[in-house]
């Protein structure tokens, strides 16, 4: 039986980039709101300070207009700050684990490595089932998003480079499991041939350097924000 993966299944959010892109967008929004808030404060100081005497001689319609403009600006900025605060609070929470280097990740036992990777996915919104054991058919972690879409993860605690044959194996397992997306997470490097083979498929490849960067990114999150 041939299972075809439809185009929309490849939109399954991945662990790489999703949070950092969202965080950059929230930071840009906060920066813009800070600028607009500063301009609003200057406007109020000008109206009720430097230009107060001139405004007292202004027509009533102009005073009413300026009052409405000031009130509307204040309400708009307040609403936008509430939205920005909500988005900031919704950013993923960091793990309590320390950041780990590639060598430290490789030093973990196979089981501990699987659980470590599972925790990274959990912190990014996935429901994770650790399945790495005999008879798992190549599935170390089974992931489920809140929208019900499923993905699988193979954890490779290797030193030698990952070749295309391992990626082909992952893809075959995805078809067997009817998974929308596949992740290959390794402590090793990933060959150009493997990356080329996976390029047009719903597969995310995470090499050792990228994995270490992900663990470090979680610690940056912890330093930026404490969230209960």
Q: Is-contact 194 170, C-beta < 8 A?
A: no
pLDDT score recorded for residue 57: 77
pLDDT score recorded for residue 221: 39
pLDDT score recorded for residue 213: 83
Q: How far is CA 158 from CA 101, 109, 184, in A?
A: 14, 11, 12
- Counting as low any pLDDT under 70, the low residues of the chain are 1-23, 50-51, 91-98, 133-137, 215-228
pLDDT score recorded for residue 123: 83
pLDDT score recorded for residue 141: 94
Burial 67-83 (b: 16+ CB within 10 A, else e): eeeeeebeeeeeebbee
Q: Is-contact 149 179, C-beta < 8 A?
A: no
Neighbouring residues of 43: CB distance < 8 A, sequence distance ≥ 6: 70, 73
Q: Is 48 exposed, middle or buried (0-12, 13-18, 19+ CB in 10 A)?
A: exposed
pLDDT score recorded for residue 95: 47
On the CB side of 27, how many CA atoms lie within 13 Å of its CA?
Answer: 9
- The rounded percent of the chain whose pLDDT value lies above 70 is 76
Question: What DSSP element (H or E) covers 127?
Answer: strand 127-130
pLDDT score recorded for residue 92: 59
The interaxial angle of helices 208-224 and 18-45, nearest 10 deg, is 30
């Amino acid at each position: 039986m041939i299972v075809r993966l439809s185009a929309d299944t490849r939109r399954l959010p991945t662990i790489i980039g999703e949070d950092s892109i969202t965080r950059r967008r929230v930071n840009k929004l906060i920066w813009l709101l800070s600028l607009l808030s500063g301009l609003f404060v200057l406007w109020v100081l000008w109206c009720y300070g430097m230009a107060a005497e001139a405004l007292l001689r202004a027509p009533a319609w102009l005073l009413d207009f300026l009052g409405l403009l000031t009130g509307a600006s204040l309400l708009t900025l307040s609403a936008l700050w509430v939205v920005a605060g909500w988005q900031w609070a919704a950013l993923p929470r960091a793990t309590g684990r320390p950041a780990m280097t590639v060598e430290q990740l490789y030093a973990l036992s196979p089981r501990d490595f699987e659980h470590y990777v599972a925790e990274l996915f959990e912190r990014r919104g996935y429901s994770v089932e650790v399945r790495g054991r005999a008879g798992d058919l190549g599935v170390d972690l089974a992931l489920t998003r809140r929208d019900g879409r499923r993905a699988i993860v193979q954890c490779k605690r290797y030193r030698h480079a990952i070749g295309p044959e391992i990626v082909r194996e992952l893809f075959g397992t995805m078809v067997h499991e009817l998974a929308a997306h596949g992740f290959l997470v390794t402590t090793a490097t990933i060959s150009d041939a493997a990356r080329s083979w996976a390029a047009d498929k719903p597969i995310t490849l995470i090499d050792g350097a990228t994995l270490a960067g992900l663990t470090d990114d979680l610690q940056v999150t912890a330093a930026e924000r404490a969230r209960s």
